[in-house]
């Protein structure tokens, strides 16, 4: 009888914990989801960052379209949605899949709709952002060293050059990720800082989740990115195709001379 009573108590306790956990999960609001998942790239009325300002988005797009971009952005890519393609062209990258559930996506939509209807905007869309970083030559050189790996990141994360190219004298990067030359132009100081502080892209997030950048490293990298955007150096010439054609032409010429001699 005692054992049955203990077993019943354990079951009751487990049930209470499950109900409590479900209640806690249910209490997560659309604003909390937005702050957790979206704020790294988006504002509501604060201007563009890594992605577009979302003020008024529920008036411009259908709820179904917004659901797709939050819950399953790859679907818009496969559909070749013209609005999505234009956004990719403008910001230099597609919306990553952040693993947001269907229910949480609708919470975010409800929050955006509520915000739009209330007209709650911090600033007019597109208002220029005041720069907070004091750009110095020392900061620029530090950013260049961190970008290229000449100086190790404090948490020993991979340097940017391992995956990304950037048109800058003396810098040659990888081609796994996108070219970052225009990143500062497209995102600005705040947008680029937000992405480096809270990476929204799956590959980047996995790489730096346990090796986050410090605030000083972010400032230095942003300074270097700004200098690269200002310089806008031309991409290095690609000699390989022409060299290959010339080499092929020489081989044909030698073969022709040899063939005439044999005759």
Give the Cα separation of 37 and 199 in Å (integer): 10
Give the model confidence (pLDDT) of 250-262 as tens digits.
555 555 554 555 5
* Residue 217 pLDDT > 90: yes
CATH value of 28-118 in 3.40.630.10, 3.40.50.11740, 3.10.290.10, 1.10.760.10 = 1.10.760.10
**Burial (Cβ within 10 Å: 0-12, 13-18, ≥19) of residue 39:** middle
* Residue 166 pLDDT > 60: yes
List C-alpha distances in Å: 145 to 153, 158, 183: 10, 13, 18
Per DSSP, 171 falls in state B
Question: What's the confidence (pLDDT) of residue 151?
Answer: 93
pTM: 0.51
* Residue 88 pLDDT > 90: no
Question: What's the confidence (pLDDT) of residue 257?
Answer: 59
Helices within 163-214 (DSSP H only): 183-197, 202-208
Tell me the mean pLDDT in the region 108-127: 68
Closest by Cα among 122, 117, 104, 96 to 30: 104
Question: What's the confidence (pLDDT) of residue 251?
Answer: 53
163 band by pLDDT with thresholds 50, 70 and 90: confident
Give the model confidence (pLDDT) of 35-73 as tens digits.
888 888 888 888 888 888 888 888 888 888 898 899 888
Indicate if 137-231 has the same CATH topology as 28-118.
yes
Question: What's the confidence (pLDDT) of residue 58?
Answer: 84
More confident residue, 8 or 198: 198
Least confident of 1-15, 24-38, 142-156, 226-240: 1-15
* Residue 141 pLDDT > 60: yes
Which sequence spans correspond to the domains of the chain? Answer: 28-118, 137-231
Give the Cα separation of 42 and 186 in Å (integer): 13
CATH value of 137-231 in 1.10.760.10, 1.10.1380.10, 3.90.70.10, 3.30.1700.10 = 1.10.760.10
Question: What's the confidence (pLDDT) of residue 261?
Answer: 57
Least confident of 60-64, 137-141, 202-206, 219-223: 202-206
- Helix 102-118, helix 30-37: angle, nearest 10: 100
Both tokens assigned to 164: 């990304």
Per DSSP, 127 falls in state P
Question: What's the confidence (pLDDT) of residue 218?
Answer: 92
Please give the backbone phi and psi of residue 259, each rounded to the nearest 5 degrees, phi first.
-65, -40
């Amino acid at each position: 009888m005692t054992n049955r009573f203990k077993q019943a108590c354990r079951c009751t306790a487990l049930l209470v914990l499950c109900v409590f956990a479900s209640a806690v999960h249910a209490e997560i609001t659309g604003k909390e989801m937005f702050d957790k998942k979206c704020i790294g790239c988006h504002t509501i009325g604060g201007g563009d960052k890594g992605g577009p300002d979302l003020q008024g988005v529920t008036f411009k797009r259908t709820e179904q379209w917004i659901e797709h971009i939050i819950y399953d952005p790859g679907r818009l890519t496969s559909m070749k949605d013209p609005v999505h393609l234009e956004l990719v062209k403008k910001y230099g990258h597609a919306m990553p899949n952040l693993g947001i559930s269907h229910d949480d996506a609708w919470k975010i939509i409800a929050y955006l709709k509520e915000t739009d209807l209330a007209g709650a905007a911090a600033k007019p869309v597109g208002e220029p952002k005041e720069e907070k970083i004091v750009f110095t030559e020392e900061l620029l050189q530090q950013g260049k060293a961190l970008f290229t790996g000449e100086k190790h990141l404090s948490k020993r994360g991979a340097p940017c050059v391992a995956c990304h190219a950037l048109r800058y004298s003396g810098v040659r990067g990888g081609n796994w990720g996108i070219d970052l030359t225009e990143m500062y132009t497209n995102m600005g100081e705040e947008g680029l800082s937000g992405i480096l502080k809270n990476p929204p892209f799956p590959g980047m997030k996995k790489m730096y989740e346990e090796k986050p950048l410090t605030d000083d490293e972010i400032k230095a990298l942003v300074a270097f990115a700004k200098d690269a955007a200002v310089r806008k150096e031309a991409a290095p010439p690609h000699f390989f195709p022409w060299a290959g054609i010339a080499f092929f032409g020489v081989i044909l010429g030698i073969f022709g001379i040899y063939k005439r001699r044999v005759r």
